[in-house]
Amino acid sequence: MSLLLQATTDWAFSVRALAPVLLVALSGLAVLGIDSLWPDERSLELVAGTAVAGTLSALGLSLWYLASGTGQPGGGGAIRLFSETIIVDGTALFFIAIVTSVAAMVSVASYDYLEADENPGSYYSLLLFATTAMTLMAVANSLATVFVSLEMASLPSYALVAYLKTNRGSVEAGLKYFLIGAVSAAVFAFGISLVYGATGTLLLTDIAAQIGGVGDLDGILGVGILMIAGGFAFKTASVPFHFWAPEAYEGAPAPISAFLSSASKAAGFVVAFRVFAVAFQPALGVAIDWGLLFGILAVVTMVLGNFAAATQTEVKRMLAYSSIGHAGYALIGLAAVTADANPANASVMGAAMAHLFVYGFMNTGAFLFIAMVEHWGIGRTFEDYAGVGRKAPMASLAMAVFMFSLAGLPVFGGFFSKYILFLGAINAGFWWLAAVGAVTSALSLFYYSRVVKALWFEEANGSLDALDSKPTGLYAAVIVAGVVTLLLLPGFGPVIETAEAAAAALFA
């Protein structure tokens, strides 16, 4: 009887700890059930409402857990479940909040995007299952859990990119994304097998304990870690594994481009932060200078992403390359994984996490504005955006906020996130990363301002009568993203404090 009671108690505790993840999963199953029970009815309002309710509930619960100290040092420490393969801590909850907030905005915006779709249930179920996998990536504490959750996120993402089945660009993008993703998964899995062969374990904490005693297997371990790093670089669209991103983002439905460039990137970074801060620290005896390696990757990614974005003629493709540049900024956080136990290193990683939080709103909002433009059917180039500000002033004002915030101008949320990130890099000794980040941010102002110039200061090239229609869901999502981006400037204190505390716990 006592064993049964203990098992019931453990099960209930696990459910409570993983409630944000389970809420999204149950929402996906509910959408699938609605679509199966009423196959002849579109039920757009019902499935969209279910998706929004599920993601908002998970977001609210994760924020509540963060505020109450659940899984954090002040609240009893990290919660470890299922033989420690799952961990619920501040880092996991912080990134679950990012992923679910993006998924909620995309779910709202997709309502208008799917008006003519015959089966919106399939779209929303794929979106929710991908979101579930990304939240699972945030709580993964074993390389096996990491791989399974990463593939669970990838499979629905391939289908979502190719969702416009009659659009050649969408199908081609989905095929390219699938082929490159399959190769990346194979490399990642082989890297995990090498690490397991060298250490005899897949748990991150146990890997850290075994690294110093691998002896002659040190070379195998190093190759395995490099392969795992390559898998993370693919997931986060970092150089040199970035080439899939512009094709996938350009061909995918714009809400899905927003989802992948924000939520998927955040999910990739939370796993990378945890794996390299916990298992593969150079201080443990890994013969690789991660600080230098990730620093170089950050520089190359920032430079390539921003310079490529500056040469684009289509707004959506510009944002795709811009997202690569922002992956470079987040890589500065991984440069903090060095052999030097400098307390400032945790601050750098925390600042990178806070930047990803702000980025989730401003980048998602920008892609959703593009979704609105696609809904109106007025074109893809900068010239096509001319005069839109006069016909859609509120949405265009929000787009200006996104552009200036992505560039890091003052008065917008992106200013503080970049400022704290660069300042933290300088304090930790990575002044050269801060310098490159500042220069590339200045360059980004050139191509971001082109969008604002076209919206507000150029004359329309053709008729803009289509802008008389007001897509409610898209408008609501864009405005919400714009308001949050503005409010994150005065409200940035709690965000950076929570992120730095979560990062410090990883280094402890």
pLDDT digits (tens, 9 = 90+) for 415-446: 888 988 999 888 888 889 999 999 999 999 99
Torsion of CA 120, 121, 126, 131, to 10 degrees: 100
Q: Identify the pLDDT of residue 416.
A: 86
- Of 149, 70, 104, nearest to 255 by C-alpha is 104
Averaged pLDDT for residues 291-306: 89
Averaged pLDDT for residues 195-201: 89
pLDDT tens-digit series, residues 217-232: 677 888 888 899 888 8
Averaged pLDDT for residues 25-38: 87
Q: Rounded distance, CA 21 to CA 44, Å?
A: 24
Q: Identify the pLDDT of residue 378.
A: 82
Q: Identify the pLDDT of residue 286.
A: 63
For residue 334, being part of any structural domain is answered with yes
**pLDDT, greater one: 466 or 170:** 170
CA 67 to chain centre: 22
Strand partners, 381: 314
Q: Is the pLDDT of residue 5 over 50?
A: no
For residue 86, being part of any structural domain is answered with no
Its domain, for residue 301, covers: 289-508
CA 227 to chain centre: 21
325 exposure class (CB count in 10 Å sphere: 0-12, 13-18, 19+): buried
Q: Identify the pLDDT of residue 282.
A: 67
For residue 451, being part of any structural domain is answered with yes
Q: Identify the pLDDT of residue 7.
A: 40
For residue 75, being part of any structural domain is answered with no
For residue 265, being part of any structural domain is answered with no
Q: Quote the tokens at residue 5.
A: 């009671």
What average pLDDT does the structure give for the chain?
Answer: 86
Q: Identify the pLDDT of residue 215.
A: 63
Query: What's the structural domain count of the chain?
Result: 1
For residue 446, being part of any structural domain is answered with yes
- If you count them, how many residues does the chain have? 508
**pLDDT, greater one: 478 or 73:** 478
Task: Please report which residue ranges of 69-119 form alpha helices under DSSP H.
Answer: 90-113
The verdict on pTM exceeding 0.85 is yes
Q: Rounded distance, CA 214 to CA 72, Å?
A: 32
- Residue 139 — pLDDT band, cuts 50, 70, 90? very high
SS3 content of the chain, % helix, strand, coil (to 5): 80, 0, 20
Measured distance between the N- and C-terminal CA atoms of the chain, rounded to whole angstroms: 39
For residue 48, being part of any structural domain is answered with no
Amino acid identity, position 141: N
For residue 176, being part of any structural domain is answered with no
Q: Is the pLDDT of residue 290 over 90?
A: no
Q: Identify the pLDDT of residue 457.
A: 85
- Residue 69 — pLDDT band, cuts 50, 70, 90? confident
Q: Rounded distance, CA 37 to CA 199, Å?
A: 49
Task: Please report which residue ranges of 377-430 form alpha helices under DSSP H.
Answer: 388-391, 393-407, 413-427
